[in-house]
Chain A
Amino acid sequence: DTEVTQTPKHLVMGMTNKKSLKCEQHMGHRAMYWYKQKAKKPPELMFVYSYEKLSINESVPSRFSPECPNSSLLNLHLHALQPEDSALYLCASSQDPPGALKNIQYFGAGTRLSVL
């Protein structure tokens, strides 16, 4: 099983709303990632969690707040978003043992977010 499950598939929210995106994997992977993908662009890395600790934050605005409650779950809390934050949000996971350089990232199908 190489599945990464993201919910919801689609989300429409207003600029004053608070919502959360959820990502789950049961492959025993210890690294999890959030990416943002605008139309006709490659994914842009937002956050990396390694062993449930935030490892990389690519200078993402504080209106995006990641959370890794356990090794299988990754959340992205959204608050006071702007219309330009509308995009496909992708979650990925990989094994990421220490010192490895050859890990494969497995991606979910994404959450398509529209901010009105």
Chain B
Amino acid sequence: GNSVTQMEGPVTLSEEAFLTINCTYTATGYPSLFWYVQYPGEGLQLLLKATKADDKGSNKGFEATYRKETTSFHLEKGSVQVSDSAVYFCALSDRQGGSEKLVFGKGTKLTVNP
């Protein structure tokens, strides 16, 4: 079945450091890919998405490019802030039973120190 593999955390960075969180996927066909973020005590928020190969999703300084040749969707940010501390989930869409479901990676906890 479809699956997502995400780099293990936790990741601890200093403010203004460069961030990369690796994500690779296994899927039949060409799923949409997503990054969701979960701040402490909250639900998930969509951070960015890409729906086809070579698409680049971007939001709030974060970027990820849909790479079909490497089946990857790595998350990057050039300069992280303390407010970026959260858990980040990579996910893909999967159609089942006429409905769409998300398949999540295990999540990566990011802590940014001042």
Contact = CB atoms under 8 A, between A and B. Distances in A.
Are A and B physically bound partners?
A: yes
Interface in A37-69: 40-43, 45, 48, 50, 55-56
Contacts, number: 68
Contact of B43 (A42, A94, A110): A110
A55 B42 contact: no
Interface in B33-90: 34, 36, 41-46, 49, 51, 89
A107 B45 contact: yes
Interface string A87-116: 000101010101011111111111000000
Interface of B: 31-32, 34, 36, 41-46, 49, 51, 89, 93, 95-102, 104-107, 109
15 contacts: A40-B107, A41-B107, A42-B89, A55-B97, A55-B99, A56-B99, A56-B101, A94-B100, A100-B100, A101-B95, A103-B93, A104-B49, A107-B36, A107-B43, A107-B45
